Structure 1
Amino acid sequence: MFPRIRIKELKKLDLERGYLIDGFPSVGFSSAIATESMIHTSQFELAGIIDSDSFPPISIVKNGMPNYPTRIFVNEDLKVAAFLSYLTLDQSLHRIAAKTMLKWAKKHKIGLIVSSVAIKSPEGTKDIIVVGNTESARKKIKDAGLSILEHGTIPGIPGMLLNEGYLIEQDVVVIIFHTGGSGPDFKSSSQICSAISQLIPGVSCNIPLLQKEAEKAEESIRETEEESKHLKDSMYR
């Protein structure tokens, strides 16, 4: 039986020629922290939930209210959507997660998907570099003043977004950032925010707030990861 990921939209959306941000964690939690910072800074609203029988059964309680660990947030004025997840998905779900994201993007006529992936670096100080899967995606990178990756390997959900997106002519760019892989990585999160704001007009991060809140956000994500770990271990055997 193949795993299925379900999306339930909570409101009607108009995102034609807009943007989709992939906020699933990769190495560490910088991608998710950066996405959450953008959601709070740029006034996104909850617009949907993402769930699967293959996800660990867990609820995130915030301000006394239960939440699904993987949700969709939208700023319709900017025509930007973000998939924000507190779950680090098992490798067996990477392909279906990417395909689900691409299918949803096609449904809403999204112009560009922006993802990110970490490369472990002890210093965590190297410059951001970006890869695009089509000529138009690479033009958007150049227009944003960002460096383009010419050779390399992109794993996980971002890699599948690039490959599968290429086949259906969906523009995808992946931001490659460097992280030490331990502790709340303020620099990595702020670098991702900066790169996304260059690629997506109107999106921004409150960097001082990001630095203040990153540790709190990482604690919540890490707690979710720890609470669900034993569930995932039994589910994916």
Structure 2
Amino acid sequence: MLPRIRIREIKPVNLEGGYLIDGFPSVGFSSAIASESMIHTSNFDVAAVIDSDFFPPISIVKNGMPSYPTRIFVNNDLKVGVFLSYLTLDQSFHRIAAKTMLKWATKHKIGLILSSVAIKSKDGDGEMIGVGNTDSARKKIKDAGLKVLEHGTIPGIPGILLNEGIMTGQDVIVIIFHTSGSGPDFKSSADLCNAMSKLIPGASCNISALQSEAEKAELIMKATQVEAGNLKDSMYM
């Protein structure tokens, strides 16, 4: 049976011409932590939940409130949506997750999808680089003051977003950032959040609060990953 992902919207969404952020964790949790920091800094509301019969049966309890581990947050004023997940998806889900994101972006007439991919480095230092799948996306990268990647390989959900976006005419930018890959990587999360803010007008990050948020978010994500790992054999057959 092929995996299926469904989105259930619970609030009105008005993102025409706006932005969609891919907050699924990849190497480490910087992508998800940076996305969550942006959500906490600005006025985002939960607009939808993302679920699948193949996802591990887990509820995330935060500040006393249970919730789905994968949700969509929206700020209709900024016209920004965020796919935020505490689940590190199995590789078998990468293609369907990316296609689900693109389909939802088409439904809501999103102008730009913004994703990211981590490169491990010893100290987490390195130049932020962008990959764009269209001329207009590459211009946005240059206008934001980021270097455009000329040659390389982008794996996972970000890579599929780039390729499939070409076929559907959807602008996609992937930010390549560096991370140590260990501990709550505050520095890489802050760098990534700042880079996303340069590409999304009006978006911002509370850097002073990001460190504590990074530590709390990573604890939740690690606990979720452990629980999901215990169920993996039965959930991903």
Question: Who is 2:89 aligned against?
Answer: 89
Question: Who is 2:209 aligned against?
Answer: 209
Instruction: State the AA in 1 paired with 2:24.
Output: F
The CA deviation at 1:63 is 2.2
Using the aligned pairs only, state the percent identity: 75
Question: Who is 1:233 aligned against?
Answer: 233
The CA deviation at 1:81 is 0.2
In 2, the alpha carbon distance for the partners of 1:54 and 1:120 equals 29
Instruction: Give the alignment's Cα RMSD to 1 decimal.
Output: 0.8
Q: 1:155 to 1:123 in 2, by over 3 A?
A: same
In 1, the alpha carbon distance for the partners of 2:148 and 2:106 equals 25
The CA deviation at 1:230 is 1.3
Q: Deviations over 1:94-127 (max 9, x none)?
A: 0000000000000000000000011111121101
Instruction: State the AA in 2 paired with 1:95.
Output: R
Question: Who is 1:165 aligned against?
Answer: 165
The CA deviation at 1:64 is 2.0
In 1, the alpha carbon distance for the partners of 2:94 and 2:37 equals 24
Gaps of at least 5 residues in structure 1 are: none
In 2, the alpha carbon distance for the partners of 1:199 and 1:111 equals 12
The CA deviation at 1:228 is 1.2
- TM-score normalised by the chain length of structure 2: 0.98
Question: Who is 1:12 aligned against?
Answer: 12
In 1, the alpha carbon distance for the partners of 2:49 and 2:27 equals 23
Q: Deviations over 1:140-182 (max 9, x none)?
A: 1111111110100000000000000011110000000111111
Question: Who is 2:224 aligned against?
Answer: 224
In 2, the alpha carbon distance for the partners of 1:61 and 1:185 equals 23
Question: Who is 2:184 aligned against?
Answer: 184
In 1, the alpha carbon distance for the partners of 2:235 and 2:173 equals 32
Alignment of 1:13-162 (within 5 A): 13-162=13-162
Gaps of at least 5 residues in structure 2 are: none
The CA deviation at 1:216 is 1.1
Instruction: State the AA in 1 paired with 2:75.
Output: N
In 2, the alpha carbon distance for the partners of 1:147 and 1:137 equals 12
In 1, the alpha carbon distance for the partners of 2:44 and 2:189 equals 18
The CA deviation at 1:233 is 3.0
Q: Deviations over 1:169-220 (max 9, x none)?
A: 1000000011111101011101110110000001110111001221111111
In 2, the alpha carbon distance for the partners of 1:54 and 1:136 equals 36
Instruction: State the AA in 1 paired with 2:117.
Output: V
The CA deviation at 1:31 is 0.4
Q: Deviations over 1:52-91 (max 9, x none)?
A: 0111110001222210000000000000000000000000
